[in-house]
Amino acid sequence: MVSTAALYLEIILIRWIGTEVRIFAFFQNLSLIACFLGFGLGCLHTKQRGSLLPSLAAITGLVVVVTLPFPSLHTALDTMSAALSFAPDAALWGASLKLTGSEYWTLTAFSALMLALFLLLLVIAMAPLGRWVGHYLETAPNTVTDYSVNLAGSLVGMWLLAILSLLWLPPSYWFAVAFVLILAAQPISWRTGIIGGVLLLITLFALRPRGPNAVYWSPYQKLEVTDVGEHQYQIDVNNVGYMSIANVSPELLARHPEVAQQFENSSYDSPFRFVNSSDRVLVIGSGAGNDVSAALRHGAAEVDAVEIDPRIYAIGKSLHPEHPYDSPKVHVVITDARNFLRQTHQKYDVIVFALLDSHTEFSGYSNVRVDNYVYTQESFQDAKRLLKPDGVLMLKFEVRVPWTWMGQRFYSMLGDIFGRAPVTYYVRPAGFNGALFDGTVFLESNSQRLWDKASEPQLTEFVKSHPTAFPLTSQGAPRPTTDDWPYVYHENNSIPRSYVTVSLVLLLMAFLMTRPHIAVGQSSTWQFFLLGAGFLLMETQLVSRLALYFGTTWFVNSIALSGILAVLLLSNLYVKLRAPRDLSAYYVALCVALIANYLIPWNDVPGSSTAVGILICLAYSAPVFFAGIIFTESFRRSDGSSSVLGANMLGAVAGGLAQNLSFILGMKALLVIAAIIYTGAALYERRSTWSVRGLPLSGRSTV
């Protein structure tokens, strides 16, 4: 029960705070690391179980603070993100601030304190659960069996939220289930029942729907729909303006002739002026249907509409005034865009990369933004492969100042892939009340006919009169994004300064909270610390690789994490049956498997995307299996000591922060770093063994 409650609470906190506090959406492993820190801190205080009520109080406090109905507070929460993203090396979109030096440092200090408050509440929420899990494991009659029960409970907790997400239930249900699990895990008394019930009522009251707008929850995000009149709607995602439902129907055009004169020059319609044929169209990120409507307006006989979020599709199907999703010409596919590009063999006259931007759209189980793998060289090469001989690729993206380097990146990447610079222009919002969003448009093709069309006087003048905010040159463009370096919102191979600021806040908190309780002179402490850091880096790689081949959907991520837990259970069974004496061979096998996965060029492996994905599952399962054997046997030898479990969780905190190295070295390099970390753990394991056997060991009381 406690293990189920712990992982379930961790996941809902990660997902919910990333929805309501924007900075946690930008730094997606921030809340994960804070939860690890809290759980690990709890494992260091296991002499008595204590009460789980502090966990419930912290949950309530977090929800109340975030949902207080004070506009100034919510402005401050938005400003917190902007205050930590002044450096234009990372495009963290939010409020644009122009401040003096003293104002900047004051706001940065305030933002750091606010961030620390939220992190502290996350830590307090998880610490009591960590204390209880550590207590049970330390007093367990059979460490391996009880650790297996712990893993099984974690598996149940993960799928519990997955089921609630599948049902599109709002956070009030998530937190109610969390309260029930936590209260049921501890002895029932009048005191705990009354206090827990009051805290639950306060939490549910704070989470109640507010305002006249309809709010929906999908498996990925919070969606708020505002009726702006004339059968048009604004859709906010995680409290940020995200998309619209525009009306360009004949009825509206008859009432507003000025719209009839401008909508053809919108970012939705103008690209079709450069197309010779639009018989078969693919829309990547079809959203509520605006791009699908544009394709139908321009004579598309068949439209494949790919959208990852089923709730957004349902909203568009219900509310879009032109009803594009009701057309028999439209075929809707609810899946990850990159997965569709890999799997399909259909050829298209037009492929539209819609105005995808998921700064706030992400899976609660992933450390990678949903759209990142859509904007890589490999993704555009997949799209190029799907174009008919005269087909046209249309990429739309909102390039903002001061992050104009993002436009140059796309301009350079597409030019390199297609062998010719794309036709590029910028258009302002169009339609009634600007419901057709603005954007920079990039057009590419395998055929000369696109540039012949663009050279027509009318279109030449159109492009000339719609200049971009960035120079149309590849010179000085930032490095291209790839499947190994998918950071489209980051300029170069460096850790953004805002990430460094957040990491320093976390490190300071971790140091102050754990320093008095960690036995820094014991080799076992550092062995388990390194095991935690290495495993988190390895887990991140596995989830990200599977996302490439099966899609970054909530279901795929649930399956991936379930697979990891299942492999760990198998490794526990192996330890129970074999009880290996010497772990050296397992350390060697683990490091060899990690390096092999790093060296294998998975993109060049022949076979279907599914077949290659299955091979990756098997290849990555091997190091997880060996890592599980090493941890479980080491944990058994420690008699389930909660102190080493705490060190392991704190190592996971370090591993989470070490993920930032992928900004410099790439994603796959994390495997090499994990191998180095596991080598260090092996050395500490040998050190502990020699110490136990009484062999001479100089300076063995020092780190």
Min mean pLDDT across 182-196, 483-497, 576-590 is at 483-497
Same domain, residue pair 624 and 583: yes
Same domain, residue pair 449 and 541: no
What is the phi/psi pair of residue 146, to 5°?
A: -70, -35
Min mean pLDDT across 6-10, 283-287, 357-361, 602-606 is at 357-361
**Is 301 domain-assigned?**
yes
**Tell me: the pLDDT tens digits for 630-685?**
999 999 888 767 788 888 888 888 898 888 888 899 989 999 999 999 999 999 88
CATH number at residue 596: 1.20.1250
Q: 408 with 470: CB under 8 angstroms? A: yes
Q: pLDDT value at position 512?
A: 81
CATH number at residue 418: 3.40.50.150
**Tell me: the pLDDT tens digits for 56-102?**
999 999 999 999 888 877 777 776 655 665 444 455 544 445 556 67
What is the phi/psi pair of residue 48, to 5°?
A: -130, 145
Which amino acid is present at 444? E
Min mean pLDDT across 87-96, 253-262, 362-371 is at 362-371
In terms of Cα–Cα distance, which of 357, 240, 347 is closest to 287? Answer: 357
Min mean pLDDT across 26-30, 228-232, 535-539, 558-562 is at 26-30
Sign (positive or negative) of CA dihedral 665, 666, 667, 672: negative
pLDDT at position 201 over 80: yes
Same domain, residue pair 451 and 500: no
Mean pLDDT of the residues in the chain? 86
Sign (positive or negative) of CA dihedral 488, 492, 493, 498: negative
Q: 90 with 490: CB under 8 angstroms? A: yes
pLDDT at position 552 over 80: no
pLDDT at position 362 over 60: no
Min mean pLDDT across 444-458, 492-506, 592-606, 648-662 is at 492-506
Q: pLDDT value at position 357?
A: 60
Residue 47: which pLDDT band, with cuts at 50, 70 and 90? confident
Q: 325 with 292: CB under 8 angstroms? A: yes
**Is 483 domain-assigned?**
no
Q: Calculate the alpha carbon distances from 375 to 64, 217, 372 in Å.
A: 37, 26, 6
Min mean pLDDT across 21-25, 257-261, 355-359 is at 355-359
**Is 657 domain-assigned?**
yes
Distance, in Å, from the CA atom of 606 to the CA atom of 651, rounded to the nearest integer, reads 37
Q: What is the mean pLDDT of residues 504-519?
A: 78
Same domain, residue pair 514 and 440: no
Q: pLDDT value at position 25?
A: 74
What is the phi/psi pair of residue 392, to 5°?
A: -125, 130
Same domain, residue pair 501 and 621: yes
**Is 24 domain-assigned?**
yes
Which amino acid is present at 392? V
Same domain, residue pair 401 and 446: yes
In terms of Cα–Cα distance, which of 166, 176, 183 is closest to 218? Answer: 166
In terms of Cα–Cα distance, which of 49, 9, 433 is closest to 17? Answer: 9
Distance, in Å, from the CA atom of 644 to the CA atom of 685, rounded to the nearest integer, reads 13
Same domain, residue pair 48 and 194: yes
Q: pLDDT value at position 99?
A: 58
Element (H, E) at 297: helix 290-297
pLDDT at position 583 over 70: yes
pLDDT at position 316 over 90: yes
Across the chain, how many H-helices and E-strands are there? Answer: 26, 11
Q: Report cis status (omega within 30 of 0) of the bond before 623.
A: no
Q: pLDDT value at position 465?
A: 96
Q: What is the mean pLDDT of residues 598-627?
A: 85
Q: 303 with 331: CB under 8 angstroms? A: yes
C-alpha 501, offset from chain centre: 20
Which amino acid is present at 230? E
**Is 320 domain-assigned?**
yes
pLDDT at position 352 over 90: yes
Helix (H, G, I), strand (E, B) or coil at 104: helix
Residue span of the structural domain in which 499 resides: 2-209+493-693
Min mean pLDDT across 204-208, 355-359, 558-562 is at 355-359
Who's near 195: CB < 8 A, 6+ residues apart?
53, 56
**Is 8 domain-assigned?**
yes
Min mean pLDDT across 114-118, 267-271, 505-509, 691-695 is at 691-695
Min mean pLDDT across 27-41, 306-320, 587-601 is at 27-41
Q: What is the mean pLDDT of residues 470-484?
A: 93
Element (H, E) at 484: none
Distance, in Å, from the CA atom of 290 to the CA atom of 95, rounded to the nearest integer, reads 27
Element (H, E) at 556: helix 554-578
**Is 247 domain-assigned?**
no
Helix (H, G, I), strand (E, B) or coil at 375: coil
Q: What is the mean pLDDT of residues 299-328?
A: 96
**Which structure tokens are listed for 365?**
């189980």
Q: What is the mean pLDDT of residues 406-421?
A: 96
Who's near 232: CB < 8 A, 6+ residues apart?
244, 245, 246, 247, 321, 432, 433, 435
**Which structure tokens are listed for 75?**
């402005």
In terms of Cα–Cα distance, which of 653, 649, 659, 647 is closest to 508? Answer: 653
Same domain, residue pair 504 and 579: yes
Same domain, residue pair 451 and 519: no
Q: Calculate the alpha carbon distances from 179 to 43, 70, 163 in Å.
A: 21, 26, 17
Same domain, residue pair 650 and 597: yes
Same domain, residue pair 455 and 590: no
Q: Which residues of 63-76 are buried (b: 16+ CB within 10 A; e: fewer)?
A: bebbbeeeeeebee
**Is 92 domain-assigned?**
yes
Which amino acid is present at 398? E
Domain total of the chain: 2
- 3-state secondary structure labels for all residues of 419-439: CCCCEEEEECCECHHHCECCE
pLDDT at position 698 over 50: no
pLDDT at position 299 over 80: yes
Strand order in the sheet with 302-307: 330-334, 302-307, 280-284, 348-353, 387-397, 439-445, 423-427
Same domain, residue pair 430 and 564: no
Residue listed under structure tokens 């234009």 = 88
Residue 173: which pLDDT band, with cuts at 50, 70 and 90? very high
Which amino acid is present at 288? A
Q: pLDDT value at position 296?
A: 97
Distance, in Å, from the CA atom of 241 to the CA atom of 229, rounded to the nearest integer, reads 17
